[in-house]
């Protein structure tokens, strides 16, 4: 399953946010492939299209798609040199597909700040520097190795060194590896290095309870937005404390509380949707009378692989898929009406699944 890692300096609100995530809790029986671990929280992805399909099909149950958040606590200044539990935590970041970086934007004299004052940009840079130093270490080691191999005159290694040198230069200039323009070929070279600063990042700007509905009035949030836009990253303002309270409520109580706060939806939902987008994922749907369900794939996956997300047997025995796009189905009003309009397509093994496809797979067992 895909994973987003939550990072940030101590005392910025990571655990509070992570607790809200686990409280809000997904029905784990629906997601047997997810990890059971205190540091892993499974979240369901809210999707209006799923609600609409449920109205159309009135199935026995509806299951959203899900992904995992991992709590990666413990990054402190010097982590890349092994301070704190440094290296162990950096190794955890290596395993995630995207990073949610929690930044403290709330004022509270009772809560110590590691550097003595609220300074979100300084905090971001402290963590980024640790990630950059860790990457520099990997890149330099790899350059040494490639240079040795290059002595044989192999062009492949010369290309590797050229790409890695460009990344090294960026890292020395305090730029993340993701800021370096890379060709598809370059990307293949560095892919297995799992560079930390190559991973997409979103900043969760943690504001105080009183600012939950108007986070952009918080001057620190403005600073974080400016910083993020300079690196092409997203910002989700959120009040971790409020989210922890929301997560304990359900149904009407929850709606009432949101209304009192002046919020349309929980910040957690916004964070989940932003992280899902950051992971570069697509959703397709299955819509039977038993179950309407959303499934997650990576962009570019073909029909058999997409079927394999449901069950490996579906991939192995794939024959073909019946496909209608979500928009066509909703416009037609029912599966039969879509069929009459000629919008139900038969697609084979080479079909590249699109976001919002409603699929029915035919397969041999
Ligand atoms: P972590 O070290 O990053 O995991 O931070 P925690 O989630 O443990 O939070 C550190 C302290 O800050 C706790 O006492 C939280 O209750 C408090 N805290 C977190 N978010 C907020 C907030 O939005 N406002 C206020 N006033 N306190 C917060």
Check whether 14 is labelled as a binding-site residue. yes
Q: Where are the domains of the chain?
A: 3-46+65-118+199-278, 130-195, 300-363
Select from 7, 11, 101 the residue to mutate for testing ligand 1; criterion: most ligand atoms less than 8 Å from CB: 11
Q: Which long-range contacts does 51-55 make (Cβ < 8 Å, 24+ apart)?
A: 52/330, 53/285, 53/287, 53/292, 53/326, 53/329, 53/358, 54/292
**Domain at 130-195, CATH from 1.10.150.300, 3.40.50.12780, 1.10.579.10, 2.60.40.60:** 1.10.150.300
Task: Determine the topology of domain 3-46+65-118+199-278 in CATH.
Answer: Rossmann fold (3.40.50)
pLDDT digits (tens, 9 = 90+) for 103-140: 999 987 777 777 778 899 999 999 999 899 999 999 99
The overall pTM is greater than 0.95:
no
Of 33-42, 96-105, 283-292, 309-318, least confident by mean pLDDT is 33-42
Q: How many A from CA of 112 to the centre of ligand 1?
A: 10
Closest ligand 1 atom to 73 CA: 4
pLDDT digits (tens, 9 = 90+) for 15-54: 999 998 888 777 777 777 777 777 888 889 999 999 999 9
pLDDT digits (tens, 9 = 90+) for 186-244: 999 898 899 999 999 999 999 998 888 888 889 999 999 999 998 888 999 999 999 99
Check whether 11 is labelled as a binding-site residue. yes
Domain 300-363 in CATH 3.30.360.10? The answer is: no
Q: Which residues line ligand 1 (CB under 6 A)?
A: 8, 10-16, 73, 106, 108, 111, 206, 208, 239-241
Q: Whose CA is nearest to atom 11 of ligand 1?
A: 11
Three state DSSP letters for 101-165: EEEECCCCCCCCCCCCCCCHHHHHHHHHHHHHHHHHHHHHHHHHHHHHHHCCCCHHHHHHHHHHH
């Amino acid at each position: 399953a895909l994973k987003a890692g939550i990072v940030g300096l101590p005392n910025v609100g990571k655990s509070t946010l992570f607790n809200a995530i686990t409280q809000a809790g997904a029905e784990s029986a629906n997601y047997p492939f997810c990890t059971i671990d205190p540091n892993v929280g499974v979240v369901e992805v809210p999707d209006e299209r799923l609600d609409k399909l449920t109205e159309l099909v009135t199935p026995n149950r509806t299951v959203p798609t899900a992904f995992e958040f991992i709590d990666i606590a413990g990054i402190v200044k010097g982590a890349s040199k092994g301070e704190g539990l440094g290296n162990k935590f950096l190794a955890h970041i290596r395993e995630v597909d995207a990073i949610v970086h929690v930044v403290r934007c709330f004022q509270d004299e009772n809560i110590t700040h590691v550097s003595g004052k609220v300074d979100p940009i300084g905090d971001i840079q402290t963590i980024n520097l640790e990630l950059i130093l860790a990457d520099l270490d990997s890149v330099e080691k790899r350059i040494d190795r490639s240079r040795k191999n290059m002595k044989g005159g192999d062009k492949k290694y010369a290309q590797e060194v050229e790409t890695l040198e460009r990344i090294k230069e960026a890292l020395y200039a305090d730029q993340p590896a993701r800021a370096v323009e890379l060709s598809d070929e370059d990307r293949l070279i560095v892919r297995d290095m799992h560079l930390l600063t190559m991973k997409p990042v979103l900043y969760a700007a943690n504001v105080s309870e009183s600012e939950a509905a108007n986070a952009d009035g918080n001057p620190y949030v403005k600073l974080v937005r400016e910083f993020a836009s300079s690196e092409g990253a997203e910002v989700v303002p959120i009040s971790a404390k409020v989210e922890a309270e929301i997560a304990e409520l359900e149904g009407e109580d929850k709606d009432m509380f949101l209304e009192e706060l002046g919020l349309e939806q929980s910040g957690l939902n916004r964070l989940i949707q932003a992280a899902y987008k950051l992971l570069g994922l697509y959703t397709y749907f299955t819509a039977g009378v038993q179950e309407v369900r959303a499934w997650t794939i990576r962009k570019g996956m073909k029909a058999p692989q997409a079927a394999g997300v449901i069950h490996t047997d579906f991939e192995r025995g794939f024959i073909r898929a019946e496909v209608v796009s979500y928009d066509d189905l909703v416009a037609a009003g029912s599966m039969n009406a879509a069929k009459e309009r000629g919008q139900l397509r038969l697609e084979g093994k080479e079909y590249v699944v699109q976001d919002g496809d409603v699929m029915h797979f035919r397969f041999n067992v």
